[in-house]
Chain A
Amino acid sequence: MKDASPAKPYALHLGVIALLFGLSFVLPEYHHGLLARIMVLAVFAMGYNLLFGYVGLLSLGHAMFFSAGLYGAGLAVIHLGWSVPAAFAAGLACGALLALVIGLLALRTSGVAFMIVTMMFAQVFYLVILYFAAWTGGDQGMVVPQPMRVLVLGSTSLDLTNPTVRYMSALALFSIVLLISLAIVRSGYGRVLVAIRENEERTKMLGYDTFSNKLAAVVISGSICAASGAAYALLFGYVGSSFASVQYSILPLLWVLLGGAATTLGPLIGTLFMYYVIDVASGYTSAYLLIVGIALILLVLFFPRGILGSIRQRWLGWLP
């Protein structure tokens, strides 16, 4: 947040991107596929973190923004036969528009009321998906046919079902969103968002229209989550209503809390950690959720600010 030398944070973030790029060539097939999925979902977590971590607005309805992207892209491909870039843009636009409308309504509340209002809107969105089963596939969901998942760029066509193409596409989206987040939180706008989190009344008395700033944050957050959802539909080919359920509103909150709220890399660390704890634990026992629960309790006890949040507090104060 300081105007100190920007070299270190940018070097760190570019280093993480380079590491993820390198991992593509050494990881065994299973972990390669898992990491691609984790990167797409980490984008979801980054979108959530912008609103929760930086502005301090706890939403319990972000599944609707993810699934707005998921269905926006998926329906455009399946029913309208749109190309991959057009479908992605459709998903993004659906999420942005939805976030604008929800933001205008939900930001009239704050605190617990905001949590409840966002959760109710997300439930409505979920039920709407189930109601229009003829179009959305209801609770069965839909599979995006493989021939539709080809990205045509001039004379080359990239098959998004190919593991390497899929991994690199996920990495590209992840990198763009990571660098956008970094730029936002280091900007004057990021400083205003943190000020709103710390003391909204005071921020108003410094001449800031906090409602507009919060609304912009909801729209950016919703758009990032929608980008994640649209990419999920196009890269993994499944569009399902479970992604709109309340579980997917709580998961990004968990990922962000684990990795460290209001840290740029925390969402990736949290998503990665959670996936691998589940992955490893389920290899040993069918009661893997018990192990996940114990891991979560230990983390909260020893890393109350999340993994990166605690590291920043104790050792690396410059972490963005």
Chain B
Amino acid sequence: MMPLLTTKGLSRSFGGLRAVDGVDFALMPGEIRAVIGPNGAGKTTFVSLVSGRIQPSSGMIVFDGADITNLPAYARVRLGVAYTFQITSVFANLSAYDNVALPVQRTLTDGRSKGAVHTGVMAALERTGLADRADMPAGQLSYGHQRLLEVAMGLALKPRLLILDEPTQGLADSEIDNFIELVREIADSATVLLIEHNMPVVMRLADRITVFNAGRILAEGTPEQIRANAAVQDAYLGTTHG
């Protein structure tokens, strides 16, 4: 099977700092992949390069067989690469409905979905349990609901690759269980690339885990392999849990 996403020698420097340093990465269609690593390991920079929010210093990104290295972010979204933000950035002054209507009408314009805006919006809101709050300004939703709205917006883009940057940050334990269910549902129709600090969530969700350290891939494997990996324990688990 051909990977959905591959990067070859992907690098990005900020001044003298090599935030992402020659990363070769492959992601198979349909998998849930977690990216973990200590703070400053380059995880967010890496997914920002994939989504097109920042440009690489060198290297190449291939999505579904096509070189997308030089495509602007909005064009990648239209190909099916959706990114949900680490820091919640819903449109606070717009209603939850309008927040989701924006991605829905985009996919309609691109011909990637059919039907009326209203149907698509309500479907995404119902899937995330926000349907009864459709008319509320997004800024007045609770933090957990704003995170869910963020996911609803990602879903409404009909992504083939959904990048979730620390989606459970700030969620209560009860909300996290629902969230894991939601991500599993999403993975039925899309590939999920997840940056996550909450290790129990990672272990429950991920098919495979990629460990970043100092801008490079330190290890990659199933949750069991990663748990048993001595280098990972030194670099990451050791520093946060020891």
Instruction: State the A residues within 8 Å of B (CB).
Output: 1-3, 188, 191-192, 194-195, 198-199, 201-210
Contact = CB atoms under 8 A, between A and B. Distances in A.
B117 A188 contact: yes
Interface stretch (B3-11, B85-93, B175-183, B228-236): B85-93
A208 B72 CA distance: 10
Given A195-B94, A201-B53, A207-B103, 19 more contacts: A1-B94, A2-B97, A3-B117, A188-B105, A191-B94, A194-B98, A198-B91, A198-B94, A199-B91, A204-B73, A205-B73, A205-B74, A205-B77, A206-B102, A206-B103, A207-B74, A209-B72, A209-B74, A210-B74
Nearest to B112: A207
A109 to B, nearest CB: 18
Interface in B134-178: 135, 153, 157
A191 B73 contact: no
A204 B51 CA distance: 11
A113 B161 CA distance: 37
Interface string B99-111: 0011101110110
B98 A191 contact: yes
Contact of A207 (B77, B91, B118, B135): B77
DSSP class of B's interface residues: helix, strand, loop or mixed? Answer: helix
Nearest to B150: A202
A3 B91 contact: no
B95 interface: yes
Contacts of A191: 94, 98, 101-102, 105
B83 interface: yes
Interface residues of B, number: 33
Given A199-B91, A205-B53, A3 B77 contact: no
Interface in B103-135: 103, 105-107, 109-110, 117-118, 135
B102 A3 contact: no
Given A3-B117, A191-B102, A192-B102, A204 B91 contact: no
Nearest to B79: A207
DSSP class of A's interface residues: helix, strand, loop or mixed? Answer: helix
B170 to A, nearest CB: 18
Q: Which 5 A-B pairs have the closest CB atoms?
A: A207-B77, A188-B105, A207-B106, A198-B91, A206-B103
Nearest to A3: B118
B104 to A, nearest CB: 9
B78 interface: yes
Interface string B19-63: 000000000000000000000000000000001010000000000
Contacts of A199: 89, 91
Contacts of B95: 1-2
B57 to A, nearest CB: 21
Given A192-B102, A205-B73, A205-B77, A2 B135 contact: yes
Contacts of A204: 72-74, 77
A192 B110 CA distance: 15
